[in-house]
Structures are given as structure tokens and as C-alpha cells.
Amino acid sequence: MENFIFQNPTKLIFGKGMIAQLAKEIPAGKRVMVTFGGGSVKKNGVYDQVKKALAGFEVTEFWGIESNPKVETLREAIRLGKEKNIDFLLAVGGGSVIDGTKLISAGLLYEGDAWELVRKGMCTETVPLAAVLTIPATGSEMNNGAVISRKETAEKFAFYSNNPVFSILDPTVTFSLPKWQVACGIADTFVHVMEQYMTAPGQSRLMDRWAEGILLSLIEIAPEIVEKQDNYERMADFMLCATMGLNHFIGMGVREDWATHLIGHELTALHGLTHGATLTIVMPGLWRTLKEKKMAKLVQYGERVWGITAGTDGQRADEAIARTEAFFRSLGLPTRLADAQIGDDTIREIERRFNERNAAFGEDRDVTGTVARRILENCK
């Protein structure tokens, strides 16, 4: 086990009807800006619940944080927030709204342009931020990470600030989500876990078990959700899995990969492909490419998660990869570049970008531009 420091101060407020707790959690007298994506919260009742809970506060609304939130949009929110002297932010939405609001929380206290913050990669001088989550997927509600895009250059980078001080998760808000979004959320969670798990075995018995626990839960839940999306217990299980998949609870003392995400970000930046779909395409290809190195963990994963116990290690690893790909397909998600009409030009461009940045990703820092090209060729 590697030495580590773990701290996650976010207060998680979970369950039916919990949005009403908002008023108790925000300090009295705060000038609150509430940030939203599109209009779905007006249809599913979340907007009304939030408005009601915030009746005692001076509230400014900012609408229109898009998926893969763009700095161009967030600059507008920062301008408005500064004008209104906002000193508390409440993100109401999915990971994109929360991610975008993390940049706003830093931008409100920063003189320069928000993209400078993104390129610095980190800023912890922020206005306090809380969240009402509407889409289980990214874990942003209980971590300090965000991913921000820039339209004019088709770029997408990670940015780190502070955790939300609290996040409210009411599983009933997921009942009306589009099926595609639920599928992407399941896949996103699955791959978050894998980025922390699929490296080498024997680093931490407990973290392995906890990661496998999320994977097993998702595999059980997924077909049930496809069948029926308004079962409270099921959606609560899913929502809890998504948050626990990326809040560092399964990452203590273990090395992490994240090359799938970093390659996937480029596919989104260049093609606008949904984040979850980029992951289901890249991860199996990455495993095929780095199979020898990840063999022991692929075998452990195959046995504990899929019950694969027959064959040579190589055969068991292949079977584990195939089962994973089949799982993603059962969710209706693409697993090959061709499914998303992405061809060789994109592969070459990603190799070029990674080389230009001297990229060295993955748990051993060996995923360079050249290796990324090989991975993407294995995603064809």
C-alpha cells in the first residue's frame, strides 16, 4: 500500500424529500447564485422544490450550463456573480453543472480570465459551493474535480478546486431521466471505479473489495434499471454507487490509471461525443493494448466480478474484457470508434496532441502519444 492522505469533508444528504433541507444548510444572509443546465429541472419538480426551500434567501439564477461545460458560458456566470456580489453557489444539475460551478466558485475570487485557472489546473480560493444532484454519474457532488471545455480551441482539461460543502441526493429525481443518460451514468461510474482498480493486484485488499463491490452492484442494477427506472431502492443503490465511485473512498493507498479518461476527453473535445460513451469505447481497447501488464488484475476482476475461473490467464483476461464490452453494449452504448463514426484522422490528431504535451499517462506513466495511438487502433 502506498502512503496516502485522505479527506472528504462533503456532507452527503441522501434520500427522498431531502431537498427541503437546503434552507438549514446554507448560512443565513448569503447571497446565493443557483446554477442550472437546461430546463429539465422545471419538468421534474426539482426547480420548484429548490425555489421553495430558498424562499428566505436573496437568489440569483444562472441558466444554461451545457454538458461538457464551456468556459465561454462560465465566464458569463462569473461576470453575473461578481456583479451581484454572490457569496454562495448552489449547483442544481448533473456533473456538468456541478463541474462548471466549481470553476465559477474560483472565478468569482479571481481577477484574470477563467481559462487561466483551468490551465493552472488548481485553485482552492473559492466561494463556498453546494449541490443538488439530478444525474448520478460523475461523482462531482463529493469530490474536488471538474472537467472544463473550451469551444474555440476544442480543448478539454481537468481542473481541481474544493469539494461541495454539502450535496443533496434525492433518488426520486432520477426517475424521469432519459434512458441514454442513465446508461452513460452507469458506464461512467463503472469506468471511474476501473481507473482506480485496474492496475496491479495486491496494493490494498480492502480497496480491491470495495471497488469490486461497486462493480458487482452496478452489474446487478443495470438490467433492472433498463427494465424499470422508477424503483426507489434501485435508483438509490445506483445513486450511492455513482457518488462512491469517485470520492476517493476506493482510492486509498492505490495507484490510479486515468488514461481512458484522458483519451476520452479528446474524443469529446474533437467530436462532442458524450463522456460516458468515450469511456466505453476506449477502456476495452486500452485493456487489449496493455493486457500483459494488467493481466493479474484482469484475471482477479474476471474471477471476482464475472465468475470466470476456467482457462489460461490470457484466456480469462480476454473473457473479462469481452464480458465488459458486452455489458456496455447491453446498456446501448458504443464500444468501438466506428460506432461513433470516428476514424484515423482523429487517432492521428490525438497522438499529435499527446506528443505536443509530452503526455505520459496511466499508473506507470507509460501511455504516451504513440501508446494512445495503439490503444485507439485497438478500439476500431
Verify binding: residue 226, a second copy, rule CB under 8 A: no
Q: 269: phi > 0 → left, psi -120 to 50 → alpha, else beta; which?
A: alpha
DSSP annotation of 361: B
Say how far residue 361 (Cα) sits from the centre of its chain.
18
Residue with cell 487517432: 347
Verify binding: residue 201, a second copy, rule CB under 8 A: no
Q: Is 224 exposed, middle or buried (0-12, 13-18, 19+ CB in 10 A)?
A: middle
CB of 285 to a second copy, least distance (A): 28
CB of 205 to a second copy, least distance (A): 4
Q: Is 202 exposed, middle or buried (0-12, 13-18, 19+ CB in 10 A)?
A: exposed
Convert 213-240 into a string of H (helix), E (strand) and C (coil): HHHHHHHHHHHHHHHCCCCHHHHHHHHH
| Choices 12-20, 55-63, 192-200, 363-371 (CB under 8 A): range interacting with a second copy | 12-20
CB of 114 to a second copy, least distance (A): 29
| Choices 16-24, 39-47, 54-62, 291-299 (CB under 8 A): range interacting with a second copy | 16-24
Verify binding: residue 216, a second copy, rule CB under 8 A: yes
Verify binding: residue 160, a second copy, rule CB under 8 A: no
Contact in structure between 73 and 97 (CB atoms under 8 Å): no
Q: What does the block give as the cell for 347?
A: 487517432
What amino acid occupies position 269?
A
Q: End-to-end CA distance of the chain, in Å?
A: 36
What amino acid occupies position 378?
N
Contacts of 258 (CB under 8 A, 6+ apart): 195, 361, 362
Contact in structure between 25 and 11 (CB atoms under 8 Å): yes
Verify binding: residue 325, a second copy, rule CB under 8 A: no
CB of 135 to a second copy, least distance (A): 18
Cβ proximity to a second copy, 72 vs 303, nearer residue: 303
Q: Is 49 exposed, middle or buried (0-12, 13-18, 19+ CB in 10 A)?
A: buried
Rounded Cα distance between 57 and 334, Å, is: 45
Verify binding: residue 200, a second copy, rule CB under 8 A: no
Q: Which of 205, 352, 357, 380 binds a second copy (CB under 8 A)?
A: 205
Q: Which of 20, 109, 206, 338 binds a second copy (CB under 8 A)?
A: 206
| Element spanning 61, H or E | strand 58-62
Interaction mask 247-266, a second copy, x per CB under 8 A: --x--xx-------------
Q: Which of 99, 188, 195, 212 binds a second copy (CB under 8 A)?
A: 212
Number of residues that bind a second copy (CB under 8 A): 41
| Choices 62-70, 88-96, 236-244, 291-299 (CB under 8 A): range interacting with a second copy | 236-244
Cβ proximity to a second copy, 124 vs 370, nearer residue: 124
Verify binding: residue 39, a second copy, rule CB under 8 A: no
Verify binding: residue 296, a second copy, rule CB under 8 A: no
CB of 260 to a second copy, least distance (A): 23
Can you tell me whether residue 175 is helix, strand or coil?
A: coil
Can you tell me whether residue 358 is helix, strand or coil?
A: coil
| Choices 212-220, 280-288, 293-301, 367-375 (CB under 8 A): range interacting with a second copy | 212-220
Within 10 angstroms of residue 241's Cβ, the number of other Cβ atoms is 24
Q: Which of 113, 125, 233, 313 binds a second copy (CB under 8 A)?
A: 233
Q: Which of 4, 48, 109, 343 binds a second copy (CB under 8 A)?
A: 4
Summarize as ranges the residues that interact with a second copy (CB under 8 A).
Answer: 1-18, 202, 204-206, 209-210, 212-214, 216-217, 220-221, 232-233, 236-237, 240-241, 244, 249, 252-253
